[in-house]
Chain A
Amino acid sequence: MSIHLLRRIMESLLILLGITLVTFLLLYLLPADPARQIAGRSATVETVENIREQLGLNLPLYQQYWHYLTNLLQGDLGRSYLQKTEVSELIASRLPATLLLMAGAIVCELIIGLTLGVISALWRNSRTDRILTLVSFTSVSAPQFVIGILLLYVFAVKLHWVPIGGYGTFAHLILPALTLGILGAGWYARMMRSSMIDVLEKDYIRTARSKGLSRGRILFRHVIPNAILPIIAMIGIDIGLFMSGIVVVESVFSWPGIGQLAWQAIQRVDIPIIMGVTLVSACAIVIGNLLADMVAPLVDPRIRIR
């Protein structure tokens, strides 16, 4: 187990290194010159050159990348070109909001997804099942922007139940978490449905039924606990899926997380922030996958690690 863990961590580090290289290359190829952006429209050519030199942008690519890596190892993500602040400071100030939103979204996702999945499986092939299948497919493929604006319009603007965007109280969290949750819930519903159907056909369920156990007891004691096992590993992987949704949802709901930071940086081609946020997201995905791998055998001993 510990060797496996070590190997997985090494692999993860290599993946992260690869991501820094690819992101660095992609941003380097962008036809936008940060020195010119900083220097502004009234700057002389000498001023631009001077700034380029101070930022080390005149160095060959491999040297720039090496500087980036050595700084990274010391925990230095660089300084934003346009916001003039340490990237680590910017990310640290926004990470709590994003983590809170993710936690809220996972709760929404599990509640909605699992409930729909259980209902679908119990009434398999009925009209309810077909409608729920349609709903879960639609929700998975719906643009976050549309769902977000729709919820905002109905619950904040028309009904005044929750505030229109912002951050700080539980009421602020409801809509963005729900938007992200609805979008992910479809996957959980599908997973839960098939997992439930699988369990329902197992011999031990038939035995339980023949023993005369009540329907509720069979469901909550035997079916759901067994059907839910594969779902747990999915939560880890889900963190990766969230990263893309979070950019849009945070922008729509004025949620001050790293998704919003990323969106602002992309629009303004603020390379150090884009690099920093990409790296943090990549870490989240890698750690999520790692956790999923590690937790799976703990909850289901049939899964063995070789």
Chain B
Amino acid sequence: MKKHVLGPVALAVLGLTAPLALHADDAANGGSMIVTYKDDVSTLDPAIGYDWQNWSMIKSLFDGLMDYKPGTTELINDLAESYTLSDDGLTYTFVLRDGVTFHNGRAMSADDVKYSLDRVTNPATQSPGAGFFASIAGFDEVSSGDAQSLSGVSVVDPKTISISLSRPDATFLHVMAINFSSIVPKEVVEEFGEDFGKNPVGTGAFELTDWTLGQHLIFSRNEDYWKEGLPNLDQITFEVGQEPVVALLRLQQGEVDIPGDGIPPAKFVEVSNDEQFKDFIIEGGQLQTGYITMNVKMPPFDNKIVRQAVNMAINKERIVRVINGRAVVANQPLPPTMPGYAPDYEGYAYDPDAAKAMLKEAGFGEGFETELYVYNTDPNPRIAQSIQQDLKAIGINASIKSLAQANVIAAGGEADQAPMIWSGGMAWIADFPDPSNFYGPILGCAGAVPGGWNWSWYCNEELDAKAVEADAMTDAAKSAEREQLWREIYLSIMEDAPWVPVFNEQRFTMRSPAVGGEDAIFVDPVHVPVNYDYVYSTAAQ
């Protein structure tokens, strides 16, 4: 694609079609882009960062042993060149890639892998991801403070690391692909201490070159990146403190390339009808489910029939319309793209009359009063009103408690506080594409504790045992069997109805004509909102 042989019209046409024609591998390097966010970036420490804003930034600064194929949920090796699993399914041995250096120029070795895993599990690090590593041998000792180092992780030689588990864990390779497993250099972490998150050094495609608090962060291309030809861009500027509406206006004026907070709900219809920009909005699925919890410890939701009746009373189609159709209706906890999803399951039909009859059968013919907790940002209060209206139709008077996110989370973590919660804004987005990730903290017994995230307080020990059994199936040949077991678990949960699964949100990313890349990387399921490493500048092509 040589510019001098093309006329301006042809160039304009190519500009539009380029994303389809160009692949990351043959995109020319160079150029820059601007991404905006409303809030400040909290931390870029991979052991601590756990919000959707810093998640993909950390992914561009750091690498781990495993990763996902760009734009997909398919596991691939990253810093690990290869790995083997012992016959008992308990020991993984990873051989590290040659020639990988940190941003400070030092070569990465197996000692760094051990240090990183010890650090993330050490309680002093206060990592929100420590729990993911519970299956590594020695985790309990480190977690309780009795040991400083994971006994299960040992350096075989500078290029080989062996990780032993205390129990077979089919999700372990996914855990090695999440940000918490990123490899960090010990000397830099020790130099900066608690401020490592402001001075991150990793092996990733970009390095942080400037962070002006409250204003912007600048990521520059890592010239020594081990992946040939990547990243495409020379520089990314993240401007913070920009209201989403203002960011959108700036994008339309050509000042910004990606509004990181997405398209504001109130503006969605307007921009999707805008001739000039509608082709620059990319839609993709995500591993998310929005649901209503019913606290099974609080009457009358301790009655299964009442919970089933509520499941039949909610008009999910209308709720999807409330958010301008940016979701698909859900009938089970797992989203459709997750392994273990039951495509044939029909779920509870929307049938207010039948729901009313069921309430009567349960002894609540006159209905009852209850409370619906909701996070107070748009569109959640509007969704709550829609739910309130549906409940009213079958005789349930639900008063809406619209609160700050932290307060809703706090109420959900008490056994006797929140009878119902609309999960919007705090809904479960999978940490990794495995059905087990939708169970433990939000539907299993482990989460049904004070301060836990299982806000329906549903605890079925029989299902817990099945979940353990499913996660012990590490043999790849048994993956179909494992998926089936998970499917059964989720369908049993639906029978008990502690949730009303409402919708699976679709993601919409808007980009400016100045940047391109395959559509999949703008709605990458792992890098939210965008897989920065693969975005290219159309001006550089």
Residues on B with beta carbons closer than 8 Å to the beta carbon of A82: 42
* A32 in contact with B410 given A254-B243, A268-B405 (CB within 8 Å): yes
When distances are taken between beta carbons in the complex, the residues of chain B under 8 Å from A267 are 39, 404-405
Q: Is the CB of B132 within 8 A of A85?
A: no
Q: Does A31 contact B (CB under 8 A)?
A: yes
The answer to the question of B452 belonging to the interface, with a C-beta cut-off of 8 Å to chain A, is yes
Contact A254 B242 (CB under 8 A): yes
Chain B residues 335 to 359 lying within 8 A of chain A, measured CB to CB, are: none
Q: Could you say which residues of chain B place their CB within 8 Å of the CB of A163?
A: 255
Q: Find out whether the CB atom of B449 lies under 8 angstroms from the CB atom of A45.
A: yes
Q: Which residues of B contact A32 (CB under 8 A)?
A: 404, 406-407, 409-410
By the criterion CB–CB under 8 Å, are A42 and B243 in contact?
Answer: no
**Highest count of chain A CB atoms <10 Å: which of B198, B243, B441:** B243
Q: Are A256 and B214 in contact (CB under 8 A)?
A: yes
Q: Can you sample 11 A-B contacts with CB below 8 Å?
A: A31-B411, A40-B128, A42-B132, A43-B128, A44-B446, A45-B450, A166-B242, A250-B241, A255-B241, A261-B214, A268-B39
Q: Would you give the 0/1 interface string for A260-275, flagging 1 where the beta carbon is closer than 8 Å to chain B?
A: 1100101111000000
B464 contacts the other chain (Cβ, under 8 Å)?
no
* A164 contact from B38, B255, B410, Cβ within 8 A: B255
- Nearest 10 CB-CB pairings of A with B: A40-B128, A32-B406, A93-B213, A256-B214, A269-B406, A84-B43, A41-B453, A42-B131, A50-B123, A254-B242
Interface status of A198 (Cβ within 8 A of chain B):
no
Task: With CB as the reference atom, state the residue of chain B lying closest to A37.
Answer: B406
Q: Is A30 an interface residue (CB 8 A)?
A: yes
Q: Are B214 and A46 in contact (CB under 8 A)?
A: no
Residues of the B chain whose Cβ atoms lie less than 8 Å from the Cβ of A46: 143-144
Closest chain-A Cβ to B111's Cβ sits at a distance in Å of 26
Chain A residue at minimum C-beta to C-beta distance from B41: A83
Interface presence of A252 (CB below 8 A): yes
Q: What sequence of 0s and 1s flags, for each residue 81-112 of chain A, a beta carbon within 8 Å of any chain B beta carbon?
A: 01111000110011001000000000000000
The total of interchain contacts (Cβ-Cβ below 8 angstroms) comes to: 141
CB distance from B371 to the nearest CB of A (A): 14
B215 near A167: Cβ-Cβ < 8 Å:
yes
Is the CB of A38 closer than 8 A to any CB of chain B?
yes
User: Interface residues, chain A, CB within 8 Å of chain B?
Assistant: 30-33, 36-48, 50-51, 54, 79, 82-85, 89-90, 93-94, 97, 152, 156-157, 163-167, 250-257, 260-261, 264, 266-269
User: Given contacts A36-B409, A54-B126, A85-B195, could you give 20 more A-B pairs where the C-beta distance is less than 8 Å?
Assistant: A31-B411, A32-B404, A33-B410, A33-B413, A36-B451, A37-B409, A42-B441, A44-B131, A45-B452, A54-B124, A79-B194, A157-B253, A164-B253, A254-B241, A255-B241, A264-B39, A266-B404, A267-B404, A268-B39, A269-B404
B22: min CB distance to chain A, Å: 30
Q: How far is the CA of A254 from the CA of B450 in the complex (A)?
A: 39
Q: Determine the distance from Cα of A156 to Cα of B43 in the docked complex, in whole angstroms.
A: 33
Residues of B within 8 A of A44 (CB): 130-131, 134, 143, 446
User: Would you list which residues of chain B between 118 and 140 have a CB under 8 Å from chain A?
Assistant: 123-124, 126, 128-132, 134
Residue numbers in B under 8 Å from A39 (CB-CB): 126, 128
Contact A41 B407 (CB under 8 A): no
